Structure 1
Amino acid sequence: MRKLFLLICCLPVYSFLQAQQFGGHQPATKWNQINNDSIRVIFPEGLGLEKQATDVAATVQKLAIQTAPTIGDRLRKISIVLQPYTTISNAYVALGPWRSEFYLMPAQNPFDLGTTPWTHSLALHEFRHVQQYNNFRKGLSRVAYYLFGQDGLAMANGAAVPNWFWEGDAVYQETLKSQQGRGRLSFFFNDYRSLWMADKKYSWMKLRNGSLRDFVPDHYRLGYMQVAYGREKYGPDFWKNVTDDAVRFNGLFYPFQRAIKKYSNTTYKEFRQNALDYFKSSTDSLGNDAVSDWAKQQKHFAGDDEFPQWIDDNTVVLVKSSYKKIPAFYLRNITTGNDSRLQTKAISLDNYFSYRNGRIVYAAYEADTRWAWKDYSVVRVMDVHTGRERVITHRSKYFAPDISADGKTIVAVEVQPGGAASLHILDAKTGSLLKKVPNPKQFFYSHPKFYTDQTVVTAIRTYTGENTMALVNINDGSVEELLPMSRRVVGFPAVQGDTITFTAAGHQQDLLLALVNKQLFQVQTPTNKGTGNYQWSAHNNKAIYTAFTAAGFHLVQQSLNAENWQPVSAEAFTQTSMTPYDLPGLKVDQPLSLDTSRPYPISRYHKAFNLVNFHSWRPYISDPDYTFSLIGENVLNTLQTELYFNYNTNEKYKEIGATAIYGAWFPYLTLGVAETFDRKETDTPFKTWNELNGRLGLQFPFTFNSGRYYRRLSFSGGINHHQVNYTQASKNKYADEQFEYYDASVTFTMQSQVARQQIYPRFGVSLLSRYRQIVTNLSGFQWLTSAAVYLPGVARTHSLVITGAYQKRDTVGDYSFGSSFPISRGYPAVNQYSIPDMYKVGFNYHFPLVYPDFGIGNIVYFLRVRGNAFYDYTYLKFFRENRYLEFKSTGGEVYFDTKWWNEYNVSFGIRYSRMLNQLRGYDPNQWEFILPINLFGR
């Protein structure tokens, strides 16, 4: 019961740490800052990020005044770190430590997040999270802060306020205070509109927790609708009052639901349904169409067909993926519907690609070998006929490449740190840069396509967020705007002869439009009335495109004739409403304009500032070890520190210690000191002793994520000073000892990409090898190696996992190192100090049993129940007696993959083991509860 209690109490803590990356910057990186009473914006020197930093600071200061009344007026200073070297578009705000990080790479797809300048959009959204945290340290949440620090506050806030509110409220702010924001984009509502059109009726807990077999929209979309409805129906103070009660835990149980009932005079169930109905009402009048009828017929998520492009009259190439299959290139016969697989797509940030004359070109992700905050986007070219693929650029930041009609050149968007974009013309064979297209107006380009040999059509965005389709001359960079600049999102251009087809945001649906000799037409798509249509490709009066459905992106084919083209004036195009739903509350406030010229002083940010920063105290369980730690981390994430107390339930010893790892250099520097009390060895003769250990070490982490595999390799080693002080009766029998020993280890992991339903990767390898050797006046060594190989099972969601371990140690008896050797499941722990040679092999077959999609009381939700059949064999050899022991066991495990409080993924299970070699005094049938395997990792 104590373990279960700690499990429940500690659930919310660790999810906030997932976005952070330790170390990650070259030691030579210098940092500047804009520092005032309310914010510190930290950014690398020499990259021209002063404008972005200025706008972030100015936007935050305005928001702190203008939107505080709707959440609370408490303000605590936060540090925001601008990260310009990654190709990922993201950001977060976190406690533990209190900080935010903005990843400065703008997204290529404008339909996802719009065309508002990227850092400005991040400031609008992420600062709302800052405002939330600032005003949620009240009542019992404040008590949790005093008891456990910043992680404790995160725990309490996460338990009191659902994640849909956190993100929905932030999306509402970005929509309210900009001329765009996701609440003004029709793409943002595709998810729920597709469910409503296909008559998919899911329970509230399923909408909250998702599913491993059905498409369920995320909490951003659910949250926005709930928050917007609450603001519209009950006024701008509604959510301030609700969250104030909730974080205080007024009513203790279900405080958020109680607060909604208190301030809306409706039950929580009625409120949330009314909010969904408020947005659903406009969909009810659309009726059925072929796309929604297809989605209705799919029992579960069918899969995504993306970016289809014609090869000949009957064949298209596309990317397919599903909850059982990772993205791969396929050829589809349009007549028969049969697919033939080409090969797996390399690790990529999206599934976009281009095709011409037998060759596919796309951008793939690659990690930097040493620096976690630096990664790349490289161009890969694949021959459809042979399946051979080449990487033609290295350490580049290229996006959305397109190959020319003659196959000799490639155009790609190159994005520099901080977001400055240009078009590069590359040699299709070597990847060498042939030409950098001038960009004097500093446009941001999206998805360029060759229009002629000397002209590229592309979506362009200005620094203020307006966009249009344009022709760009690749010789001099001159731009011909094909439509007036507006905030109506356009993207995904395609070219056939003199026709340019693209998708543009509509009122409630993203529409297909075409420019024929610069005359604008809307392409009629009667197959899909309710959601967006994308990725058009035409060939000989036939067209294909993808439609968003509740069962995945669905490939649609239609014939082309004059009736498909409806003329549209440029004026009508730019005046089309950009807000899918008429929400009067969005018209109250004026948007915050971009502000990059305010005279903020810029100064040097010293890396050593607040280096030792203890922020939380945390319980941690890794049976048999029970630990309570005081943990620290600085804002730049270069020093992690810990003071801890540990109790080991196997040997009944206590341990206190301190550790630190410094990652601003390479290799990382590790330090540690620990005192262990009351160790025992119960073999004859009985021994009791205390230990003191100090360690100085180095760690060399490397990352090789590229192609089709994720790979990590780490070397570490150190020198240790160790003291053994015997206690009680042993003090008179044995002399105290002190000695030095070194330790060295290597870890390696490699795995393929994993689809949603796959329990483990279809192929993977993990290896740990560690050696410890006394180097002074005593004798003693230990070598432990363990490994696992992940192989495909009979079905795509099955996995065969073969594990092995080997340990060798001396038998002199001067000193025995602690052991982590895994004994066959079901057998009790054995005293391994006198066993010099041990090995183990295990066979595991993992498979899903059922996907319940069932929850209890908004507390726990069961996503999947899965099984594992296993067989373990352990061999222990004793040299002196020339004897051996064999431990053989078989059995099964049942795991429950769950979500707690609608947010935190937890897997736990039950194990039955049958001892095939029975031990005297032990029942051969053993049952165990398997503690959460993914909860307490550090």
Structure 2
Amino acid sequence: MQYRKLYFAALLSTMGTYSFAQDQFGGHITGQQWQVISSPSANIIFPKGIEPQAQRVANVVNFIDLNNRRSIGDKKGRINIVLQTQTVNPNGYVALAPFRSEFFCTPPASNLLLGSQNWLDVLSVHEYRHVLQTLNARRGITKLGSILQGQGLWAVMSALSIPNWYSEGDAVISETALSKNGRGRTSFFTLEQRSLANVGVNYSYQKNRNGSYRSLVPDHYRLGYLMLTQARQLKGNDITAKIHAEAARYKGIVYPFSRALKRNLGYNSTNLYKLAWKENKQAWQERLDATALIPTQAVTQKNKRTVTDYRYPRAWKNDILVARKSSYKQTDQLVQLENGKEKVLTTIGYNNDDFFSLNGNTVAWAELSRNPRRGYQDFTNIYLFDLQTQQKRQLTHKTRYFSPIASPDGRKIAAIYVSPMLKNEIHVLDAISGKLLETITSPDNYFFSRLAWTENGDALVSIAKHQSQLALAKINVNEKGITLLTPWTYHTIESPVISNDKVYFNASFSTIDNIYCTDLAGSKKISKVTSVPVAAFEPEISKDGKTLYFSEFTNMGYVISKQSLEANNSSEFVVKEPFELPIFKASNFPEEGGSIFEKLPTQEYGVKSYRGLFKGLKLHSWNIIPSPSNPSLSVQFDNFLNDVSLSFGGSANFNEAGSNSFNALLKIARFYPDFTFMTEYGQRSTAVLRNNQVVNQQFNELDLSAQVAIPLRWLKGNFSTSLMPYVTLTQRNLTNFTIDNVASKPDNSFLSSNVGLTFSTVRRRAYQNVGPRLGFALQLASISTLNRDDNSKTVASSAVYLPGIGKNHAIQVRGAFQKELLSNSYQFSDTFVYPRGYNAPANDQVTSLAVNYDLPLFYPDAGLFGITYFKRVRANLFYDYAMTERLIAKTKTTYRSAGAELIFDNTFLNILPLSIGLRNSFLLDKDPINPSQSFHFGIFVSTGL
């Protein structure tokens, strides 16, 4: 889950222009029927058919609003929560502009990160904590910002004063303290931090705050939980509300949050982190000292330079393993490991789960696809790979399947199915056609995850979830009977495999994830098999039953380890629940009130239909931009379903003798095409040449525009493809022409059109890749006037992306063409990219070519007083060519330049990714506008938003 306070591109200027991205604008499927529950604390907007889940969400957030505020503050406000069920990507966020939240309701396929808790309960507690954080941040200077410019500046001021690690750490504490489980009680949550402590690595606070392209750095959820649990131990739970309020008020303009920590705890951010790390490292070490470790042997070695993961080792035959591999340099691959050698079998495309399975010769996994037009609807489809024939094929299309696994005879595929109505089933499919053969449901409404076939193929073992607890369950495929193999627990259970009538799985029973086993007969006796210092996951048994393989976590990612099973004489393991274990006591704050889920009311709120194109349209921001040359004012409306947007604005242009303009824009994306309607009226003042004198020409211009566009996007394998055809018609009315207060020519009006398309297909990038390593992009546009002189403009550009010499290198080749005659009586805007270092030349026609070679140089991982953090330095070598033509004069001019760019990929103010480049262009031809110039040095900025 991510907490997204919309960050704006103009954060470097607190009075900058707000241009926020509306994710998935118009992403709902056509014809979706919406309903709404109105409760005191929240309006729950949800698809028809999931009323019980919506009622549960309403009861959870209302209970928290009434009973669990003391550690955050007492400010009130109603939130609109939209429940999304058509997407398979589990997530959630709270945003401003407008103030709303979205829950992506399909649960995660893995139990590791969130443990046993019900997914919608986690979302309700976690995201509603963000709601309370947002409401209680509206104080002091942050409140003044919201008064001046609405929710837009409210979001910016909150983001600048309150670090994301506080927001997420505080929310994880809430989901832990208000339940019997939660991430704070899962050993997986501290996995990365413990791996670093285990090898004596302690990154600085700044590196933890900003991350790294080079090192494995725990994210802000883990950083925040580490620091805030330490803060609460120092001064109690209520101290966080005071720190949050003081930071939001900007009590201490510079570093307001760190200063609030210092005033209330005696530690600033850096020193609090150091103390928290020291205390937790000592606790982790004491636990390790009291743990009898079992030696393991390495199958794959830890990569010392690049974070690399080997996941889900699967035994094929003899000593051959198949595993899933990825790294900071390389996207997912299926690899074969034999005698220390590695062979790439195939690639794995876009996915949201690392799981894959092997039974017989059949490898199975799931990849993502999506509705091309509707971004809120996506799918997980089953892919199969035959190890004998080396053939890969897609078994299902537009489905919602998770954790697929082939039966022992290879004829069937079993998979978890989650419907858009959040119904959970196990489906058994034909392995050739993908046809549904069997549907397995649970009379007790268990939620299943992960699957393993028994060796004779008559039963499946899965992880069942019920009332926020987990247990291993055996399901008879034919009779549909269910036998529990382990007791219900709040611990994490994951990745069952079966060998010799035993079920091996990883679990958090010992506060370190390890491999355990139980028997298929249902005795519910549990034995511990591994004991490693950090974590062991994803067990696999060799074909002879003598060796256990598993994924073991290190500070440089997952490696594959093994240990012998022959000498394993482990005794029965007694499981204690997470809330009973001392290592998790820091997250169990009695002052928060304890678990709320035994106290929840079951109030039935009224349900109404939620219909209407402009339903929920809300004024949320009024932006005042005090520019010295072009001050402006605008107001912004958006609806909560994120498919209608409306804005009004006005501005003055002092560069045009104080002329002013007014505009309005309406964008509607609920229907299959996007419709955009724009109007602008303004006074214009331009310089023109008359009788060899430059004089001012004034006129009024009224523009009326309408655009129809169809934005499409596909996911297939590792490629993301987008296509957007569009047509724009603009009526321009020019009136009241004067030159220095003398009437100059009659009024005129004309209609112009812009017909074009954009297309791209690009391979996804690994984390360290500086650019796409394969892809193609194209833009075409034809702009012309329709009812006056034949003024037209044609623009075309394309780009080809290719791999460089190194895995993180990228080559980009761009070509472009533009034609617009200088003799045209009306000139459209010129946005052509000319060779670097040259001034834009006047021309009728231009053709260009640019070649770029981009490569990383080093990763500084160093900051400067919280102002900027240097994450990566890279170089770009380029060559640009262009030929311009003046057709009437029959002249051609060549422009060539070559040079280099030194680019710093930085994070500013700990939140804003910006790349700052230094460019030196050597001019290989004379610039007609500046003939004496032989090179040009410049600075440029690009944003990573």
TM-score band w.r.t. shorter chain: over 0.9
Of residues 798, 803, 806, the one that matches 2:817 is: 806
Cα 1:357/1:698, change in 2 over 3 Å: same
Structure 1 gaps of 5+ residues are none
Find out whether 1:862 has 2:892 as its counterpart. no
Q: 1:317 aligns with which of 313, 322, 329?
A: 322
2:171 match: 170
Provide the rounded CA distance (Å) in 2 between the counterparts of 1:149 and 1:322: 43
Write the deviation string for residues 402-436 of structure 1: whole angstroms up to 9, x where unpaired.
00111110000010114221010101111111111
1:161 and 2:162 equivalent? yes
Q: How does 1:766-777 map to 2 (within 5 A)?
A: 766-777=777-788
Q: Cα offset for 1:829?
A: 2.5
Does 2:461 align with 1:450? no
Distance 1:730 1:836 in 2: 33
CA–CA distance in 1 between the matches of 2:697 and 2:232?
66
* C-alpha separation in 1, matches of 2:914 and 2:172: 27
Matched, 1:592 2:596: yes
2:676 aligned counterpart, secondary structure? strand
Partner of 1:794, secondary structure, is coil
1:478 to 2:465 alignment: no
**Matching residue within 345, 349, 371 for 2:374:** 371
1:817: Cα distance to partner?
1.6
Q: Does 1:415 align with 2:425?
A: no
**Is contact 1:246-1:255 (8 Å) kept?**
yes
- Shift in alpha-carbon separation, 1:124–1:914, aligned structure 2, 3 A: same
Any conservation in 2 of the 1:523–1:564 contact (CA below 8 Å)? no
Q: CA deviation at 1:574?
A: 6.4
Aligned residue for 1:863, secondary structure, equals strand
Change (3 A) 1:582 1:574: closer
How far 1:439 moved relative to its partner?
A: 2.5
CA distance in 2, matches of 1:72, 1:649: 46
Q: Does 1:643 align with 2:648?
A: yes
- Amino acid in the other structure paired with 2:782: Y
Q: Deviations over 1:331-371 (max 9, x none)?
A: 111x3x21111121111112211112222111110011221
- Residue 889 of structure 1 corresponds to 897
Residue pairs, 1:332-343, within 5 angstroms: 332-333=337-338, 335=339, 337-343=340-346
Please state how far the C-alpha of 1:822 moved relative to its aligned partner: 1.2
SS at match of 1:63: helix
Report the counterpart of residue 802 of structure 2 in structure 1: 791
From 39, 45, 57, the equivalent of 1:36 is 39
Distance 1:10 1:33, change over 3 A: same
- Give the Cα–Cα distance (whole angstroms) in 1 for the partners of residues 308 and 626 of structure 2: 39
Cα distance, 1:656 vs structure 2: 4.2
Q: Which runs of structure 2 are paired with 1:743-758 in the superposition (5 Å)?
A: 743-758=754-769
Equivalent in 822, 839, 850 of residue 833 of structure 2: 822
- SS of structure 1 residue aligned to 2:589: helix
Partner of 1:840: 848
Q: Distance in 1 between matches of 2:72 and 2:431?
A: 54
Closer, same or farther: CA 842–765 of 1 in aligned 2, 3 Å: same
| Structure 2 partner of 1:204 | 205
Q: After the TM superposition, which of the residue ranges 874-883 and 679-688 deviates more from structure 2?
A: 679-688
2: CA distance between counterparts of 1:420 and 1:670? 38
Matched, 1:670 2:676: yes
> Displacement, 1:241?
1.0
1:289 Cα offset (Å): 8.7
1:548 and 1:846 mapped to 2: Cα distance? 32
Structure 1 Cα separation of the partners of residues 865 and 203 of structure 2: 16
Shift of 1:683: 6.8
The DSSP-based 3-state class of the residue aligned with 2:801 is strand
Which deviations, in whole Å up to 9, do the C-alpha atoms of 1:12-52 show, x marking residues without a partner? Answer: 9989857x32111234222111113321000011x2x1111
CA offsets per residue over residues 820-848 of structure 1, 9 Å max, x none? 111111111234xxx33211110011011
**What amino acid is the match of 2:540?**
W
- Give 1:618 deviation, angstroms: 4.9
Aligned residue number for residue 92 of structure 1: 93
2:926 is paired with a residue whose SS is coil
Query: Displacement, 1:674?
Result: 2.1
Take 1:479 and 1:365, find their aligned partners in 2: how far apart are those partners?
31
Whether the 8 Å contact between 2:526 and 2:572 is mirrored in structure 1 is yes
CA distance in 2: counterparts of 1:919 and 1:676, whole angstroms:
36
Partners of 2:302 and 2:559 within 8 A in 1:
no
C-alpha deviation, 1:729, in angstroms: 5.1
1:565 shift after superposition = 4.0
**Alignment match, 2:67:** 66
Alignment of 1:76-91 (within 5 A): 76-91=77-92
CA distance in 2, matches of 1:422, 1:517: 22
Please tell me the residue identity of whatever aligns with 1:778: D
In the alignment, does 2:707 pair up with 1:707? no
C-alpha distance 174-521 of structure 1, shift in aligned 2 (>3 A)? closer
* 1:146 match: 147
Distance 1:592 1:693 in 2: 58
TM-score, normalising length: structure 2: 0.92
C-alpha separation in 2, matches of 1:732 and 1:856 = 59
Question: Which range moved further: 760-769 or 718-727?
Answer: 718-727
- Residue matched to 1:303: 308
Offset from partner CA, 1:287-325 (integer Å, 9 cap, x none): 699789999975444300001101122211111111111
Instruction: Tell me the residue number matched to 1:559.
Output: 564
TM-superposed deviation, 1:232? 2.2
Q: 1:890 to 1:492 in 2, by over 3 A?
A: same
Residue segments in structure 2 that go unaligned for 5+ positions in a row? 1-7
CA gap of 1:316–1:649, structure 2 versus 1, over 3 A, is farther
How far apart are the structure 1 equivalents of 2:479 and 2:16? Answer: 55
Q: Is the 8 A contact 1:522 1:565 kept in 2?
A: no
Q: Is the 8 A contact 1:55 1:596 kept in 2?
A: no
Q: Is the 8 A contact 2:239 2:264 kept in 1?
A: yes
Q: 1:70: Cα distance to partner?
A: 1.2
What is the CA distance between 1:933 and its match in structure 2?
Answer: 3.5
TM-score calculated relative to the size of structure 1? 0.93
State the partner residue of 1:931.
Answer: 941
CA RMSD of aligned residues (A): 2.9
1:719 to 702, 715, 729: 729
Contact 2:727–2:754, Cα closer than 8 Å, also in 1:
yes
Secondary structure of 1:715 counterpart: strand
Q: State the identity as a percent.
A: 28
Cα distance, 1:628 vs structure 2:
6.4
> 1:619–1:218: structure 2 CA closer, same or farther, 3 Å change rule?
farther
Residues 1:364 and 1:224: Cα distance change in structure 2 (over 3 Å): same
In the superposition, relative to structure 1, how do residues 547 and 116 fare at CA in structure 2: closer, same or farther (>3 Å)? same
